[in-house]
Structure 1
Amino acid sequence: MQLFDILGKNVFTATQDANTSTITLENLNLNSGVYLLKLSTESGQSYVKKIVKN
């Protein structure tokens, strides 16, 4: 999982093992703005979700 700011700067990266189903983003101290969350699977598929932090 990667989190990018709207300018494309990587602000957070996390990997998840098979035994973990949750990653928390609450304590990242992010500024208000728009971020892109990219999830990548082991099979090579990627999903991108826009996140707006107020």
Structure 2
Amino acid sequence: MLARSAKTRSDACIHTTATTTLEENGDGQSIFVLYTVSVQQHYADDTPSSITGS
């Protein structure tokens, strides 16, 4: 996580979305899945630029 400190803003957006959904659903299980999928998608989208950019 520390290596991706530049991604803090994006992580905060994902966290905010997850928190909002948790409040609406009231289901911790669903929110964990949503958060996991969101993070995986975020890093998957970021991977190509990370490989070529570094």
Structure-1-length-normalised TM-score: 0.29
Larger radius of gyration: 2
Question: Where is the strand percentage greater, Structure 1 or Structure 2?
Answer: 1
Q: Which has the higher contact order (CA 8 A, sep 6+)?
A: 1
Question: Where is the helix percentage greater, Structure 1 or Structure 2?
Answer: 2
